[in-house]
Chain A
Amino acid sequence: GNSVTQMEGPVTLSEEAFLTINCTYTATGYPSLFWNVQYPGEGLQLLLKATKADDKGSNKGFEATYRKETTSFHLEKGSVQVSDSAVYFCALSGGATNKLIFGTGTLLAVQP
């Protein structure tokens, strides 16, 4: 079945460091891919999405490219801020299922 695997956290970085959070997926068909973010004490928010191969989603300085050949959707940001501290969830939707499949989440802690 469909599944999402993302790197375990926590990831601890200093402000202005480069961020990569890895996400790989297994799916039948052509799923859409999402990154969601959960700030402390809040629900999940959509951060960015990509709906087909080679699409790049971007928002708030974050980017992720839908790579069908490596079944990956890694999240990157060139210079993180303290306010980026949150839990990040990779997810996929579509293919043979109506469900959204989430990874287990990666906690990012950015220190000043």
Chain B
Amino acid sequence: DVKVTQSSRYLVKRTGEKVFLECVQDMDHENMFWYRQDPGLGLRLIYFSYDVKMKEKGDIPEGYSVSREKKERFSLILESASTNQTSMYLCASRYSENQPQHFGDGTRLSIL
């Protein structure tokens, strides 16, 4: 089975801090994704990566950046955390287009 592991289930940070959310997958998947999930808004794509060192903006990239130095790891970075970035963050990976995405358990991030 594919395993997508997010480094933290719950995280509390302060406004202005630089925050790193880590995601690791163990199936040599090409594509990796970061979403945030908010009530009434469903899942919104922040960034995705289709190969090492490659990244593309999703629908809501503002205030975020990403890093993919190794195929198995995709990091989401909040450069200067703000309260409106309090959310559930979900990482996913898939082998290729038209294949299903496999999700991690999510990180519930609170910015105080």
- Give chain A's interface residues, CB within 8 Å of chain B: 31-32, 34, 36, 42-46, 49, 51, 89, 93-94, 98-100, 102-105
Contact = CB atoms under 8 A, between A and B. Distances in A.
Interface in B55-88: 56, 58
A105 B102 contact: no
Interface residues of B, number: 27
Contacts of B6: 43
Contacts, number: 55
B106 A42 contact: yes
Interface of B: 4, 6, 31, 33, 35, 40-43, 45, 48, 50, 56, 58, 90, 92, 94, 97-106
In the A-B complex, the 4 residue pairs with the smallest Cβ-Cβ separation, listed nearest first, are A104-B42, A43-B103, A44-B103, A43-B105
B41 A51 contact: no
